[in-house]
Chains A and B, each alone.
Chain A
Amino acid sequence: NAGVTQTPKFQVLKTGQSMTLQCAQDMNHEYMSWYRQDPGMGLRLIHYSVGAGITDQGEVPNGYNVSRSTTEDFPLRLLSAAPSQTSVYFCASSYGRTTEAFFGQGTRLTVV
């Protein structure tokens, strides 16, 4: 059972480039979310989804887009990368909003 799989693990982008962070889960979880983790600030919610076709914004959504076409996948898109988006990104999934969440291994993104 793979759980939550994120790719890539590391990425360096130039300012203005775009990219997609992939997140896939094989637990048939309805609830998926993306967070960024910056030093000393804990995690901050970027976007979340309560099921296929349904997404909503979290605390820090600007500069990021998401879509949820299937239950399994929840990609995060950076349309025009900025240095302020340098961070570690975590994807998480859970059966429901109030159940135990499972996190991916993270993507360390550097924007230069």
Chain B
Amino acid sequence: ELKVEQNPLFLSMQEGKNYTIYCNYSTTSDRLYWYRQDPGKSLESLFVLLSNGAVKQEGRLMASLDTKARLSTLHITAAVHDLSATYFCAVDILPPNNDMRFGAGTRLTVKP
């Protein structure tokens, strides 16, 4: 069965600290996406990772992809309150299945 597992599911951290969110998946894919969702809002695209070893950074967030380990990480550096949101990873399942599977999300709360 195709699975996309994120951990942790809930993360409370203090401002200024670093942390990593993990996204493991159970099928072959070299396409992985990270999204952010604020409460009651829509999803915003953060990163598109399309190859093994891909690394992308935007502000305090950095995402990477290891297709051999079937693992993507979202690293948060020196967290600030504005980063509080739910973060989802999504794996593009290649033909013949042609699907997009999301993780359950990591709810991040950054406290002062």
Contacts and interface: CB of A to CB of B under 8 A. Distances in A.
B43 A58 contact: no
B43 to A, nearest CB: 4
Contact of B33 (A41, A59, A101, A106): A101
B42 to A, nearest CB: 4
Contacts, number: 47
Nearest to B30: A98
A105 B42 contact: yes
Contact of A103 (B43, B50, B105): B43
A58 B45 contact: no
Contacts of A101: 33, 43, 45
B105 A42 contact: yes
Given A42-B103, A59-B101, A103 B48 contact: no
Interface in B65-111: 88, 90, 92, 98-105
Interface residues of A, number: 24
B42 A103 contact: yes
Chain B: interface secondary structure? strand
A26 interface: no
Contacts of B33: 101
B88 A43 contact: yes
Nearest to B86: A42
Given A42-B102, A98-B92, A100-B45, 16 more contacts: A35-B102, A40-B104, A41-B104, A42-B88, A42-B103, A42-B105, A44-B102, A48-B98, A48-B100, A58-B99, A97-B92, A102-B45, A103-B42, A103-B44, A104-B42, A105-B41
14 contacts: A33-B100, A42-B88, A42-B103, A44-B102, A59-B99, A90-B42, A90-B43, A92-B43, A98-B92, A101-B33, A101-B43, A101-B45, A103-B43, A105-B42
Interface of B: 4, 31, 33, 41-45, 48, 50, 88, 90, 92, 98-105
Interface of A: 33, 35, 40-45, 48, 56, 58-59, 90, 92, 97-106
